[in-house]
Amino acid sequence: MNYRQLHEESLKQNRPEWYQQLQSAGNLQRHLDAVSQEAKELHQRLVSQLQAKQPYNPVEFPARETWEKYLNQVAREIVLYEVVLVKDQESEDAEQNGYRDPTTASPTLTPSEAEE
């Protein structure tokens, strides 16, 4: 599923009233396109930053493709959390009041998880 589809499904599930408002006003497609574009651009920037911060190391990643997959997965997790997935109202209210769910606070993948 691409970023656009994931955002639409998340919006439908977690904020159905917002989804309906966008749809009724004729702004849904434009909104989904904007989120998709923002997500793609952020993903590309993150991969570039990660490549600079963690250069390819054949000891840690024997196959260069594994390293690239790892960087893409880390970037994807960040993009999903920061841009694509829509929080339900209760979760958003909790975050605004200073609570951050420790299970979703920071994406971390080990090199071995990138191979999966």
Query: Is the four-CA dihedral 116, 107, 86, 4 of positive or negative sign?
Result: negative
pLDDT band at 93 (very low <50, low <70, confident <90, very high): low
pLDDT per residue as tens digits for the range 33-64: 999 999 999 999 999 999 999 999 999 999 99
pTM: 0.76
Is residue 45 within 8 Å of residue 76, measured between CB atoms?
no
Strand segments, DSSP code E, in the chain are none
- Could you tell me the residue ranges of all domains in the chain? 3-114
